[in-house]
Homo-oligomer: A and B are copies of this chain.
Amino acid sequence: RAGLGEYAFPVLIVNGMQPGPRLCIIAGVHGDEYEGMEAVRRVLHHTDPATLRGAVVGIPCVNLAAFETATRSSGIDGLNLNRIFPGDATGSLSLRLAATFLRTVIREVDALLDLHTGGGFGEIAPITIVQSGYETLALGLGQAIGHELLWMGGKWGGTARISALEAGKAAVTVEVGGGGGCRDETIAAHVDGVRSAMRYLGMIAGTPTMRQEYRIVSGTFDRATSGGFFLGRARPGGECGAGQTVGVIVDPFGDERQIIDAPHDGLVLWIRRRASIQPGEETVIFGRVERVITS
């Protein structure tokens, strides 16, 4: 932070001794998703320029204002940085952040990995989001992360991923873990995914963690119709059958206000971990397996 009213984002760069692609790895678009931030630092600190092909640009925390308040959205202008790309260089802080990131970083690189977790609100299965319509550009990179689930939907706009894809760069969002805190196993999962992607891009030695099969999923957001106390009865990544109860909302006395049943056979992609819930807030993201593909 430069001073009152001025925010910057930290940039770590490892320039390889060999030519190769330029990969950008970011985390902290949401301020309460800690594991990606530490994963970016670990990857950058442990990448040896002597053997690296190309360059790695790591931004451990894009949204320092949201990190400082441990919130998903910015406490300064109330905006969710993951919904406002390409931003606006003359707008409020979050809009300027988005515009600055595109202008100064994305323009200079060939590929983007945007690391997320479920944050304070929920816990998510290991899943890589590949934007529908950009499979040629991003599917291989998404597969190389190594998570079996590929979410092809992602129709919501305003992400760094979409802006990068529109600029012709390979870009995926990687999701894993969450539910509060900064968990070692989630940091490790992100580090493994990034390293595998670097192998896929030929930047470091080794073979990427390509699976024989990937499940392509779409997601449906279930939203609360009642406020109250949410009790989850499923784990992210777990299978669920149509009609299976995966959560319940009770009032302060414990009486049931809403029962959340799976709308179809499939799996739980994300489940709420913050117990307090208001009408309209997300309870569960259900995944439907649309097809299985091979690498």
Contacts and interface: CB of A to CB of B under 8 A. Distances in A.
| Residue with the greatest number of chain B CB neighbours at <10 A, chosen from A68, A70, A123, A254 | A254
A120 interface: yes
A10 B179 contact: no
A181 B179 contact: yes
B69 A276 contact: yes
Interface stretch (A33-41, A80-88, A101-109, A200-208): A33-41
B229 A38 contact: yes
Interface string A1-37: 0000000011010000000000000000001001001
A229 B41 CA distance: 12
Q: How many copies does the complex hold?
A: 2
A57 interface: no
B182 A180 contact: no
Given A253-B12, A253-B41, A254-B60, A68 B278 contact: yes
B180 A34 contact: no
A140 to B, nearest CB: 30
Nearest to A67: B276
B70 A37 contact: no
Nearest to A253: B10
A234 to B, nearest CB: 12
A215 interface: no
Interface residues of A, number: 38
A31 B182 CA distance: 21
A264 interface: no
Interface in A175-220: 179-182
| Residue with the greatest number of chain B CB neighbours at <10 A, chosen from A38, A61, A182 | A182
Contact of A274 (B60, B70, B231): B70
Contact of A70 (B232, B251, B276): B276
Interface in A122-136: 123
B182 A275 contact: yes
A99 interface: no
Given A45-B254, A60-B253, A253-B12, A275 B180 contact: no
Interface of A: 9-10, 12, 31, 34, 37-38, 41-42, 44-45, 60-61, 64, 67-70, 120, 123, 179-182, 227, 229, 231-232, 250-254, 273-276, 278
Given A41-B254, A61-B229, A181-B274, 18 more contacts: A9-B252, A10-B252, A12-B253, A12-B254, A31-B276, A34-B275, A37-B229, A42-B254, A61-B252, A67-B229, A67-B276, A68-B227, A68-B276, A70-B275, A180-B273, A181-B275, A182-B231, A182-B232
5 contacts: A31-B276, A34-B275, A60-B252, A64-B252, A182-B232
The 5 closest A-B pairs by CB, nearest first: A180-B180, A181-B273, A41-B254, A10-B252, A34-B275
